[in-house]
Amino acid sequence: MIEPSVSLYGQGLQRVTDHLGALLQKSHSLYAMLIDRKGFVLAHRESLWAPRPPSLDSIATLVAGNFATTAALARMLGETKFTELVHQGEKTGLYLEEVDDRTLLLVVFDQSTPIGRVKLFVKKAVADVGNVLRESPADKSETDAFDFGDDFTKSADALLDDLFKE
Amino acid sequence: MIEPSVSLYGQGLQRVTDHLGALLQKSHSLYAMLIDRKGFVLAHRESLWAPRPPSLDSIATLVAGNFATTAALARMLGETKFTELVHQGEKTGLYLEEVDDRTLLLVVFDQSTPIGRVKLFVKKAVADVGNVLRESPADKSETDAFDFGDDFTKSADALLDDLFKE
């Protein structure tokens, strides 16, 4: 099973959610999300005045996929990757910035706020959220899932020994 | 075979290329391209001071594909589509704006010019290029390939009549 590449819970989650709330208020945006590159929503906030939010999980999945496909384009232009993405529609805009190697900060805003304002406060939020993530204990790494630990190995060995004992 | 959805040649092509040249000069960008949504390069210009350009065909294909995939995201946010896209790397940026239903204008710029300047002159170029496209004669439509015309139908009928005539 695919799991989020960062586990955010308890105090860490609360602090990130608070930063997202402050970002929404200052930038006058609709929705803010911290997602990982696999498309999992790690934390999210909606403005009180925002309309009923669309499926945040689906948005996160599409955005993460889209971000991954732009990597090929970046390499063609001599960049290792793009660190900021803006999608602007008639009324709604979407702004994405990289927090660290595993996570992205995503903001949805409407025409009531200029993109410059959104960018400014996202940059601040990226720094704040980045600090929380660095301080958070024990991030799940890809290999953790396959590391069963010494205890498991020993008890499995003992079980096998038992099975094949005469 | 997949063909470009717009055929641009002769004077029309020259005028579009001139507009792209003016855009590059005014916005101090590296490369400018008019592409269609299938990923074909219809017209392009490079700045004299720009480094050797990457494969423009490949960039056009990736950008068109990327633009298409953002449509699902746009619909989720209640937009019919996104009309502007910005990809920003450390040194290089890519700005994309819709010209009409079939074409996109793509500009690659570096840190020597601010994105605001690029956007401003792209909007002017989009209007200018849009005018040329509207005035251009006989765009190829998807269905043209299957429309054999009255003459063909008549002569085919005559041929079939001949075949089955005793």
Regions of chain B where pLDDT drops below 50: 140-147, 166
Question: Could A76 and B63 be called an inter-chain contact, meaning their C-beta atoms sit closer than 8 Å?
Answer: no
Question: Could B79 and A91 be called an inter-chain contact, meaning their C-beta atoms sit closer than 8 Å?
Answer: yes
| Residue B3 within any structural domain of the chain | no
| Residue A4 within any structural domain of the chain | no
Please list, in sequence order, all residues whose beta carbon lies within 8 angstroms of the beta carbon of residue A36, skipping any fewer than 6 positions away.
A4, A5, A6, A42, A64, A102, A103, A104
Which among A83, A86, A108 has the least Cβ separation from residue B89? A83
Count of helix runs (H) and strand runs (E) in chain A: 4, 5
A69 to chain B, any CB pair closer than 8 A? The answer is yes
**Residue B73: both structure tokens together:** 């995201």
DSSP E strands, A16-117: 31-36, 41-46, 84-89, 92-98, 103-110
| Residue B1 within any structural domain of the chain | no
| Residue B16 within any structural domain of the chain | yes
Please list, in sequence order, all residues whose beta carbon lies within 8 angstroms of the beta carbon of residue A19, skipping any fewer than 6 positions away.
A125, A128, A129, A132
Please list, in sequence order, all residues whose beta carbon lies within 8 angstroms of the beta carbon of residue A130, skipping any fewer than 6 positions away.
A99, A100
Helix (H, G, I), strand (E, B) or coil at B138: coil
Give the span between the Cα atoms of A92 and A103, in whole angstroms. Answer: 23
Number of domains chain A contains: 1
Q: Could you read off the pLDDT of B59-78 as tens digits, one per residue?
A: 999 899 888 888 888 998 88
Please indicate, yes or no, whether the overall pTM of this predicted structure exceeds 0.80.
no
**Residue A103: domain span:** 10-164
Q: Could you read off the pLDDT of A50-107 as tens digits, one per residue?
A: 888 788 999 999 899 888 888 888 998 889 889 999 999 999 999 999 999 999 999 9
Question: Could A54 and B63 be called an inter-chain contact, meaning their C-beta atoms sit closer than 8 Å?
Answer: no
Neighbours of B160 (CB within 10 A): 10
Which among B62, B72, B74 has the least Cβ separation from residue A89? B74
What ipTM was assigned to the predicted interfaces of this complex? 0.74
Question: Could A88 and B84 be called an inter-chain contact, meaning their C-beta atoms sit closer than 8 Å?
Answer: yes
Give the span between the Cα atoms of B20 and B8, in whole angstroms. Answer: 14
| Residue B4 within any structural domain of the chain | no
What's A96's domain CATH number? 3.30.450.30
Q: Which of B136, B133, B144, B137 is nearest to B36 (CA)?
A: B133
Distance from CA of A52 to the nearest CA of B (A): 11
For residue B81, list chain A residues with Cβ-Cβ distance below 8 A: 89
